Amino acid sequence: MVKWTDFERATIQDIFSKIDYDVVGPAALSRCLIVYPWTQRYFGGFGNLYNAAAITSNPKVAAHGKVVISGLEKAVKNMDDIKTIYKDLSVLHSEKLQVDPDNFNLLADCLTIVVAGQIGAAFTPEVHAAFQKFLAVVVASLRKQYY
């Protein structure tokens, strides 16, 4: 089981209480699709992803960004058992969506950069480390059911 320090628990709760989900979710997903364009392979039905402007203004991308960050909230609320909470999501990503799990790290990096931009100087190395650890646990849990 993952061991969280008091600082790490408090930091994760604090970050997610501060950020605007409607901004961060869409921003992280669109940044991922722009910076790592091969990730667009999973979004064939989303319409115009032709350039950065199109991606940023695409309503399906925005809507899905919110879905993703709401999914993260499950982990925030159940930090002591993310592996179990994410079992079905892991099966979904593996069997139905067939997402290469290396992509989880790409989205995680973009999310980190967006959150850093939102939080600014308060995103200290220690806060960053806690966030990184949280995302690493999330990614590992999402990978768990892949075969």
User: What residues line the site for another protein (CB under 8 A)?
Assistant: 30-31, 34-35, 52, 55-56, 109, 112-114, 116-121, 123-126, 128-129, 132
Give yes or no for a contact between 2 and 80, defined as CB atoms under 8 angstroms apart: yes
Q: Which is nearer to another protein, 44 or 125 (CB)?
A: 125
- Shortest distance (Å) from residue 15 CB to another protein: 14
Q: Which is nearer to another protein, 36 or 42 (CB)?
A: 36
Return all residues near 97 (Cβ < 8 A) that are at least 6 apart. Answer: 42
Which of 133, 79, 87 has its CA nearest to residue 108? 133
- Shortest distance (Å) from residue 126 CB to another protein: 6
- Shortest distance (Å) from residue 27 CB to another protein: 8
Q: Which is nearer to another protein, 19 or 89 (CB)?
A: 19
Q: Which is nearer to another protein, 9 or 133 (CB)?
A: 133
- State whether the Cα torsion 33-71-25-133 is positive or negative: negative
Q: Which is nearer to another protein, 84 or 132 (CB)?
A: 132
- Shortest distance (Å) from residue 109 CB to another protein: 6
Which of 71, 66, 72 has its CA nearest to residue 27? 66
Give yes or no for a contact between 33 and 55, defined as CB atoms under 8 angstroms apart: yes
> Tokens standing for 26?
């869409």
- State whether the Cα torsion 137-42-66-21 is positive or negative: positive
- Shortest distance (Å) from residue 53 CB to another protein: 9
